[in-house]
Chains A and B, each alone.
Chain A
């Protein structure tokens, strides 16, 4: 692919260490339904040690093609996912679908750039990558180090989804749906019609504290809509593969509690700083990584709800 050749040439000209697209070990994946493979991310923050492999990512094999759903939190994880696919099929990877623009779901994109592969995302994804990409790369270079991050590129979607789109993998249809602002303003879900497996991206969290980076009120509305999808099981963005729609219950309770507590704090004249400490404190024992994400959720919720 032109980009890759160009990159390598340019990096060589710059005297940067030439990165090696080495044969990677295959990422461990489970076949949760016929032709549907999932790597279960570790419930953790992205670190040098875990190479960013914290999100659930996967792929679906049809009769004529493969679709990848999210590419992981580093180029290395993306390469390992590619190796896992190649260990199972030599059918072409026609689509790489990004469920949204967060680093743990799309830093591996560059590993899949080649002729014949289309990148697919929400119509708002290009804007999100533009406004956030350079910041993400810089921030995660600090955290994970240059070796894992220097090769990351914000590969934007070439197929944009607005509303509902289907992709055909050969006797296998994927239904993609772009959602209004919820977890982010560029959330996309993928339903495999054959197995009724729903890849929900970060519209669904289990165990891992939900992360609010879009709209709290929007997310609560989207949860109600999501519940009507004809899925049997869900691959959440974080947490274990679960029955549908029961998997939504914990997250709905958390977000509802957050919204009502923040509303009450605003009504009583409390400051945004006070809200970060006080809202939804009862949820603390029910989630992992609560101290890493909850205060920011409350901060974001406050700045949204104060405009009601």
Chain B
């Protein structure tokens, strides 16, 4: 039996070699650049405008930990610009599932900055595409080197990741120089979830573990939407989203998350203005 198993895993390894042709590190004029194909698949080939003055994307130049790479998206629209950011799509070109996340920005929440954490499998371009109320797409990109050493885009303690399933935490941060009068707030929502990619074959059963991740997260102040995220397997385990917004005077913060097995996780918190 163990010999048989061995043979199967050898075969699986070989299939991997045959199917997964080694990818060259991404470079700008590379004919293997996946971006044109991604524009077609994700954005239906809509025109991409230069987003340098519209949207900022910040990531470390090197993915220190392949499983937890911080990314910050920032609106660069100047005050007084009549346009509004409707949604931001985050694309990690060389990941197995390049569409990492799609953020919908609440119409009245004035979200100007979103930080989360993603997995990075390879040397890759990372694109942020903002859709504005003028109906156009604006793109900015950065480049991230894959992590070295034994870092991998997988859970470090798979048991812990399961044991936190569905736990939600909310935190407010004091923004320096922004008192309660400005209404500007910074908050964070964390959700315990293993975010399994489903890309790994179990060596014993030879079956792929099913993907298991948060695919939708919605956040409201009272009943007014602040931010919603559609996520995929490129979002790190225990999804964590930190963002700025403008308070509408609400007293409650609410979050609801759904995962691919249909679990719904809900929580709400009283907004504490005393620390602002």
Write the residues of chain A forming the contact surface with B, with a CB cutoff of 8 angstroms: 2-3, 6-7, 10-11, 14, 16, 45-46, 102-104, 124, 126-127, 129-132, 134-136, 138-139, 141-143, 150, 153-154, 156, 158, 181, 184-185, 211, 213-215, 218, 269, 271-273, 276, 292-293, 295-296, 299-300, 303, 306-307
Question: For chain B, what secondary structure do more than half of its interface residues adopt (helix, strand, loop), or is it mixed?
Answer: loop
* Contact of B147 with A296 in the complex, beta carbons under 8 Å: yes
Q: Which of B101-109, B201-209, B257-265 contacts A (4 or more CB under 8 A)?
A: B201-209
Bound Cα distance A298, B137 (Å): 36
A residues in contact with B98, CB < 8 Å: none
Can you name 27 A-B pairs with beta carbons within 8 Å?
A: A2-B7, A10-B10, A14-B14, A14-B17, A124-B158, A132-B154, A134-B16, A136-B152, A138-B22, A143-B148, A154-B13, A154-B203, A185-B157, A185-B158, A271-B115, A271-B242, A272-B68, A273-B70, A276-B60, A295-B60, A299-B68, A303-B68, A303-B238, A303-B240, A306-B240, A307-B167, A307-B238
**What is the size category of the interface that chain B forms with chain A?**
35 or more
In the A-B complex, list the 6 residue pairs whose CB atoms are closest, starting with the nearest.
Answer: A296-B64, A102-B150, A131-B154, A181-B157, A296-B65, A132-B152
Contacts of B240 in A (CB 8 A): 303, 306
Residues of A close to B60: CB separation below 8 A: 273, 276, 295
A299 near B200: Cβ-Cβ < 8 Å: no
B117: chain A residues at CB < 8 Å are: 272, 303
Q: Report the bound CA distance from A295 to B70 in whole Å.
A: 12
Instruction: State A276–B202 Cα separation when bound (angstroms).
Output: 33
At the interface, is chain A mostly helix, strand, loop or mixed?
helix
Q: Are A135 and B6 in contact (CB under 8 A)?
A: no
What B residues does A306 contact at CB under 8 A? 190, 240
Q: Is the CB of B70 within 8 A of A6?
A: no
Residue of A nearest to B13 (CB): A153
Encoded as 1 (CB less than 8 Å from any A CB) or 0, chain B from 240 to 275 comes to 101000000000000000000000000000000000
Residue pair B190, A307 in contact (C-beta under 8 Å): yes
In the complex, how many angstroms separate the beta carbon of A251 from the nearest chain B beta carbon?
Answer: 17
